[in-house]
Amino acid sequence: MTQQAAPRPTLLQRIAKLTVAEKLHLATLGSREERLVLVRDQNKLISRAVASSPKATESEAELYSSMTDLAEDVFRIIAKNQAFMKSYGIVRALVKNPHVPLDISLPLVIRLNAKDLREVEMDKNLATALRNVAGKLLKRRA
């Protein structure tokens, strides 16, 4: 009879066993998959470390911008990063995310094209102020 090898722990299981310091290190220098798990961590230090990681790419920032279950700090870090804010996809994701604070999303509405402004204006999940600004911009551009 041969003995079966113990199953390898999954990424979630391995991360769950880490200390906060180890998670911070992983959030800063870990792989994309590890950062994707850690950005949702309840500890704001860890999620902020993921957002400000030097390894974070534009596509990751766009993905984080569209997530609704993240801490407000993550959205603020993305919005303060000039390299990320050059990407139209990130700007659009931040504006269309109902969990992004108004002080971040309102100034970004101006940068949206007409099609996205129409979508923002019609989206009942977004704040009324944001929808009103989008409608006014559409009328002004027409």
Residue range 112-117: average pLDDT? 96
How many Å apart are CA 84 and CA 68, to the nearest integer? 18
Is the pLDDT assigned to residue 78 strictly greater than 70? yes
**Residue-level pLDDT at 4:** 73
Using the 8-state DSSP alphabet, how is residue 2 labeled?
Answer: P
Dihedral angle sign, alpha carbons of residues 22, 28, 29, 32: positive
- Give the domain ranges of the chain: 11-56, 57-142
Using alpha carbons, select from 104, 38, 40 the residue that is nearest to residue 77: 104
**Residue-level pLDDT at 1:** 55
